[in-house]
Chains A and B, each alone.
Chain A
Amino acid sequence: MNKHCATIAICLAIAMPAVAAENHGGDVVYTKPVKSVLFSHKLHVEEKGLSCDMCHARTFDMQALKAQENADFTMKSLVEGKYCGACHNGTMAFASNTRCAACHTGVKGGGPPRGGKH
């Protein structure tokens, strides 16, 4: 399954490099165990230039929110180098146990004062 996805991804990446960017998985917002963790394909693929297989070869399936079904999708695992922590380990990218608010984007995203009528 993983391999299968990776193959498609690679094919896509090679066959139509220009379109590839648009065919990535978009934004994934995790809700478990805590709400509002944002993973952005745009950032990782378009801006940072990472290839699909860097993630989709082993670490993640091409199915949004699949990872969060696993009981070990926690910070402890990340720090141990699983999931996002495979890269977010302090050498390849900033470590998972720093810069919390980079991945955690917040439940409400900041609105007008609550209780206010405008």
Chain B
Amino acid sequence: MKQSKHDLGSTKNEGMENVPMEERRQFLKMGLAITGIFAGGTIFSAVSVIDRVFASSEEFTAQYPYKPHYGMILFQNRCVDCERCVAACAETNHVPHEGYRTRILMKEMPDAVGLKREFIPVLCNHCNVPQCTRVCPTKATYKDPVNGIVMMDTSKCIGCLTCQEGCPYNARYFDEHRQAVDKCNFCFDTRLSKGEKLTACAAACPASCRVFGDLSDKGSDLYKAIHQLERPVWVLRPEAGTKPSVFYTKDTSAVAFK
């Protein structure tokens, strides 16, 4: 019966503290947050979130350019790659099986201390300086003047795919059924315009990983999750200079399940 000599009491609880978090702490001590990405052991960009995402602190406190200014923050540590978001997105927006508007990337670090795997959901970042809309020859893709969503006007798309080259987030693909480039539009046509408050992916997420909302609404969960100094908030590929409306973070507190 006493076959196992293993002392369970000594089993360490390593909690959330994996390497990137520790490194982040270091930076946080200096009053900075990580806006870069953790790449194979080195953090290549550490700048104050506020300065990085908006040109200056003044701009940060000033109004967001759109009303509502739709955006999303992803709690990266909560994603379990169950892909309910991917399925819900495909069903809601008639995404063909060859394509996707959102997907989950997997990062594995076999040598990491503690957790060795993490999932990174990606989607269109609805950039505030979008490159795709700049390069489109026919304005088939454009930034909606009201809500800041990067939209597609499929009837104008000539299929040159320059927007795909321009997108630093691989958020676009050519949809043979629509005969146009397709991309995430925060479910504007399928949900938001019909009175729904959430995108299909955010609504389907069982782990409250995706928080969707209005960046310009100071009372929203989204606003609060981004405008704080306790947790680092970052964007993907800040060096591309596109100033995304999609943010990433990790929370250290335990997730509450209902």
Contact = CB atoms under 8 A, between A and B. Distances in A.
Interface residues of B, number: 42
A17 B3 contact: yes
Identify which of A10, A75, A99 gathers the most chain B CB atoms within 10 Å of its CB.
A99
Contact of A79 (B1, B9, B103, B257): B257
Given A51-B3, A106-B119, A91 B13 contact: yes
A68 interface: no
Interface in B163-193: 173
B55 interface: no
A36 B81 contact: yes
B117 interface: yes
Interface in B111-131: 114-119
A99 B3 contact: no
Interface string B202-213: 000011000000
Interface string A43-59: 00000111101100000
Contact of A97 (B83, B99, B206, B257): B257
B132 to A, nearest CB: 18
Nearest to B5: A49
Contacts of A104: 80-82, 119
A33 B15 contact: no
Chain A interface residue count: which class? 35 or more
Given A76-B257, A94-B13, A100-B78, A106 B106 contact: yes
Interface in B4-51: 4-6, 8-9, 11, 13-16
Given A10-B1, A50-B6, A101-B117, A114 B15 contact: no
Contact of A75 (B13, B79, B257): B257
Interface of A: 10, 13-14, 17, 33-36, 48-51, 53-54, 74-76, 79, 87, 90-95, 97-102, 104-110, 114-115
The 10 closest A-B pairs by CB, nearest first: A104-B80, A106-B81, A34-B82, A49-B6, A110-B106, A75-B257, A97-B254, A101-B117, A51-B4, A107-B83
Interface of B: 1, 3-6, 8-9, 11, 13-16, 77-84, 98-100, 103-106, 108, 114-119, 173, 206-207, 254-258
25 contacts: A14-B3, A34-B80, A34-B84, A36-B82, A49-B4, A51-B1, A75-B255, A92-B11, A94-B14, A94-B15, A95-B13, A97-B255, A97-B257, A98-B15, A99-B16, A101-B77, A101-B117, A104-B81, A106-B119, A107-B81, A107-B82, A107-B83, A109-B106, A115-B98, A115-B173
